[in-house]
Amino acid sequence: MDIGSVSRGVALVKVSSGSVPLETNCKVIAAANGGSYQYEILYRGKFLGIPLQLGEGNY
């Protein structure tokens, strides 16, 4: 995970094919302030931008 873009409301997540094979479903859950969103990771070895749209605070 790369949190360098958090100030712009995005966290970057990358899953390697060595840790989770492509044929295995993989999801990221962004949770904060009592709400949550799920994002399916369709690619391996590439960063995916996860929007931090649940307001300020800890995710």
Which pLDDT belongs to residue 34?
95
pTM: 0.79
Which pLDDT belongs to residue 49?
95
For residue 47 the two structure tokens come to 């960063």
Rounded Cα distance, 36 and 34, in Å? 7
Which pLDDT belongs to residue 46?
94
pLDDT of the chain, 59 residues: tens digit per residue? 898 999 999 999 999 988 999 899 999 999 999 999 999 999 999 999 999 999 888 99
Query: CB under 8 Å, gap of 24 or more: what pairs does 21-27 form?
Result: none
